[in-house]
């Protein structure tokens, strides 16, 4: 006879956010309410995925998150069981944290806390403190937009207060772009493996996704040309420097060819550029090469700290910037006012360079650790990046690798989460070497990963 746990189906329709977090949150709720009891065996992951109509990777991530929170235990082939001695009420409160996010590392001698404290104190003691504690204009106050425009101009692109917005993180910027630029049913090109935040926007907006051929250098321009010739392509989405997840950086000749194709077929370019300021080699952005058709997003969250939630969005014209302002207001009303003020101060006094340099230095040190453990050619990475793209051979399960690494506090995600269309992406995992993960734990995790990938002689792992 099946236990109550084996018949368990989570109620996730009323939950917001990623589905895997909705499943783990529902699990916490059902333990707290008594619907599930200690020792109850949960449905096999594949069975639950079929019941919910989601992919297996989503359920695998949900169970991994539940294990991380102490809600369940895994017992090998016997399955997963509700753990004894949990405190589900407390755990349910922390369940929304997304451990699959790609986060910048925290340098050992980071000056961020001191600089942030000093900036906030200066702002609150200044003459304009009262204004900073009120609602801010959508898209940022003029001084904040001017600072952002100056920062983007330093990077070589045409930018002004009239065309630059300050938004609450890059995801808000991408939402605004999709809402103002694209209509339901229109087609957007991208690589075969894509940032899931963009895929979520496309699916919500009911946009058609046309994946392009790509290699270790990024999107193949001729694949883009063929798509534009055979289909009505409205926009191209790209992360041209240190692509998330594949780490590819488009060479300048490919960027120039893509611009020529976009102009020939009147295609907009959506440039998601979170890592450009970290890169050791600077290449011209699409906003620099084709300012008339490029919608550019740069984020301080990805190069200093995700806690800032500050990004800068450049539109091709004033008219399009006004449309973006309205869409950004509908999404989040305004960026965090004090954080926006602190970032403006850092952009104006140059502190941002020192903060980014600290992150870059830490990234370079961590990449040296990676180089010393993983064999050459077994992974791809940007030199000053903080994620790896690791192809996985047939016979090795990406989900097995993810499950083995997560107890060590490492953020690892199966490549399937990034596939633009089912079945067309690369079998791989994206491994973040950033966040609060210390160098010692990173080294341990990489050593385990190397053993699982290269030293098992084809034997299955007992880890689940």
Q: What is the pLDDT of residues 408-431, one digit of tens each?
A: 878 899 999 999 998 888 899 999
pLDDT band at 29 (very low <50, low <70, confident <90, very high): confident
Q: Which of 36-40, 119-123, 125-129, 247-251 has the lowest mean pLDDT?
A: 125-129
- The model's pLDDT over 343-357, given as tens digits with 9 standing for 90+, comes to 999 999 999 999 999
- The rounded distance, in Å, linking the Cα atoms of 71 and 170 is 32
The answer to whether residues 204 and 339 belong to one domain is yes
Q: Mark which of 38, 60, 94 sits at the end of a domain.
A: 94
Residue 217 confidence (pLDDT)? 96
Q: Same domain, yes or no, for 183 and 292? A: yes
Which ranges of 282-420 does DSSP label H, i.e. alpha helix? Answer: 286-289, 318-332, 337-349, 351-373, 398-405
Q: Is the pLDDT of residue 172 over 70?
A: yes
pLDDT at residue 98, as a whole number: 40
pLDDT recorded at residue 76: 67
Q: What is the pLDDT of residue 97?
A: 45
Residue 66 belongs to a domain with what CATH number? 1.10.10.10
Token output for 64 = 């991994």
The answer to whether the predicted template modeling score (pTM) of the entire model surpasses 0.85 is no
Q: Are residues 284 and 390 in the same domain?
A: no
> Which is nearest to 290 in space by CA: 267, 311, 320, 323?
267
Stated as kind and residue range, the H or E segment containing 297 is strand 294-299
Give me the residues paired with residue 295 across strands.
270
**Burial (CB count <10 Å: 0-12, 13-18, 19+), residue 411:** buried
Total structural domains in the chain? 3
Given a cut of 50, whether residue 142 has pLDDT beyond it is yes
Radius of gyration, alpha carbons of the chain: 23
Helical axes 45-52 vs 19-33, angle rounded to 10°: 110
Kind and range of the H or E element at 139?
none
Q: Check whether residue 288 and residue 169 sit in a common domain.
A: yes
How much is the pLDDT for 462?
41
Domain assignment present for residue 7? The answer is: no
One domain, residues 88 and 149: no
pLDDT (tens digit per residue) in 31-65: 877 888 888 899 998 889 888 888 888 888 888 88
- When pLDDT is averaged across residues 369-392 and rounded to a whole number, the result is 96
Domain containing 130 equals 112-352
Q: Is the pLDDT of residue 5 over 70?
A: no
Say whether both 235 and 341 belong to one domain: yes
Instruction: Assess whether 250 and 359 both reside in one domain.
Output: no
pLDDT value for 13: 64
Residue 334 DSSP one-character state: S
The tokens describing 62, both together, are: 């949900």
* Mean pLDDT of all residues belonging to the chain: 88
Residues 346 and 393 in one domain: no
Domain identity same for 245 and 360: no
Query: For residue 234, what pLDDT is reported?
Result: 98
Distance CA 423, CA 321 (A): 37
If you average pLDDT over residues 291-299, what whole number do you get?
Answer: 97
Segment 286-309 mean pLDDT: 95
Is the model's pLDDT at 239 over the cut of 60?
Answer: yes
Q: Is the pLDDT of residue 1 over 70?
A: no
CA dihedral 40, 41, 46, 49 (to 10 degrees): 0
pLDDT (mean) for 245-273: 98
Q: Mean pLDDT over residues 11-15, rounded?
A: 67
9-13, 119-123, 225-229, 401-405: which has the minimum mean pLDDT? 9-13
Residues 315 and 366 in one domain: no
Percentage with pLDDT > 70 across the chain: 92
pLDDT confidence bin for 30, thresholds 50/70/90: confident
Residue 230: CATH number of its domain: 3.40.640.10
- Which tokens is 332 given? 């989040």
| pLDDT(455) > 50 | yes
Query: Which of 29, 61, 94 marks a domain boundary?
Result: 94
| Last-in-domain residue among 352, 375, 398 | 352
Q: Which residue has the higher pLDDT, 445 or 76?
A: 445
| Predicted local confidence at residue 166, as pLDDT | 96
Which stretches does DSSP call E strand in 53-181?
Answer: 72-74, 80-82, 164-167
Q: How sure is the predictor about 16, in pLDDT bands with cuts at 50, 70 and 90?
A: low
Q: What is the pLDDT of residue 132?
A: 85
| Whether residues 235 and 300 fall in one domain | yes
**Residue 85 confidence (pLDDT):** 63
Find the Cα–Cα–Cα–Cα dihedral 199, 205, 206, 209, rounded to 10°: -40
Indicate whether 2 belongs to any domain.
no
Q: Which of 16-25, 63-72, 232-241 has the lowest mean pLDDT?
A: 16-25
In a domain, 10, yes or no: no
Average pLDDT over residues 384-399: 92
Residue 462 lies in a domain: no
Q: What is the pLDDT at residue 396?
A: 85
Continuous segment of H or E residues that includes residue 117: helix 112-125
Which residues lie closer than 8 Å to 25 by C-beta, 6 or more apart?
Answer: 15, 92, 95, 96
**What are the helix and strand counts (H, E) for the chain?**
17, 15
Give the H or E element holding residue 28. Answer: helix 19-33
**Under DSSP, is residue 287 helix (H, G, I), strand (E, B) or coil?**
helix
pLDDT higher than threshold 80 for residue 458: no
**135 pLDDT more than 50:** yes
Residue 142 CB neighbours (<10 A): 11
């Amino acid at each position: 006879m099946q236990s109550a746990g084996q018949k368990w189906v989570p109620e996730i329709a009323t939950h917001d956010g990623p589905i895997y977090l909705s499943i783990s949150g529902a699990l916490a709720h059902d333990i707290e309410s008594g619907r599930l009891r200690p020792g109850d065996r949960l449905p096999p992951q594949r069975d639950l995925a079929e019941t919910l109509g989601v992919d297996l990777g989503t359920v695998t991530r949900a169970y991994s998150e539940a294990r991380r929170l102490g809600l369940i235990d895994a017992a090998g082939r016997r399955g997963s069981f509700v753990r004894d001695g949990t405190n589900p009420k407390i755990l349910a409160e922390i369940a929304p944290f997304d451990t699959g996010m790609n986060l910048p590392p925290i340098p050992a001698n980071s000056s961020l806390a001191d600089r942030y404290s000093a900036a906030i104190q200066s702002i609150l003691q200044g003459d304009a403190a009262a204004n900073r504690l009120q609602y801010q204009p959508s898209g940022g106050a003029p001084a904040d937009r001017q600072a952002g425009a100056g920062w983007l101009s330093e990077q070589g692109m045409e930018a002004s207060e009239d065309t630059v917005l300050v938004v609450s993180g890059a995801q808000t910027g991408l939402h605004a772009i999709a809402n103002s630029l694209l209509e339901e049913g229109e087609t957007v090109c991208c690589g075969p493996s894509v940032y899931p935040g963009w895929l979520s926007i496309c699916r919500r907006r009911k946009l058609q996704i046309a994946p392009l051929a790509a290699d270790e250098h990024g999107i193949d321009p001729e694949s883009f040309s063929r798509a534009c010739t055979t289909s009505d392509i409205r926009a191209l989405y790209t992360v041209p420097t240190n692509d998330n997840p594949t780490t590819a950086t488009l060479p300048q000749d490919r960027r120039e060819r893509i611009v020529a194709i976009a102009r020939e077929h009147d295609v907009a370019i959506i440039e998601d550029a979170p890592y450009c300021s970290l890169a050791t080699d600077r290449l011209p952005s699409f906003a620099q090469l084709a300012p008339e058709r490029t919608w550019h997003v740069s984020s301080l969250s990805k190069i200093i700290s995700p806690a800032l939630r500050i990004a800068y969005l450049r539109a091709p014209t004033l008219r399009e910037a006004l449309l973006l302002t309205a869409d950004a207001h509908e999404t989040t009303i305004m960026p965090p006012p004090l954080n926006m003020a602190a970032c403006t101060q850092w952009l104006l006094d140059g502190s941002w360079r020192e903060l980014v340099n600290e992150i870059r230095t830490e990234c370079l040190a961590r990449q040296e650790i990676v180089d010393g453990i993983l064999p050459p050619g077994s992974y791809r990475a940007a030199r000053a990046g903080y994620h790896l793209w690791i192809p996985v051979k047939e016979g090795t399960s990406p989900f097995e690798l993810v499950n083995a690494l997560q107890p060590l506090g490492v953020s690892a995600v199966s490549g399937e989460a990034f596939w633009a269309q089912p079945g067309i992406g690369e079998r791989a995992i994206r491994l973040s070497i950033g966040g609060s993960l210390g160098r010692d734990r990173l080294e341990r995790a990489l050593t385990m990963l190397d053993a699982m990938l290269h030293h098992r002689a084809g034997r299955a792992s007992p880890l689940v």
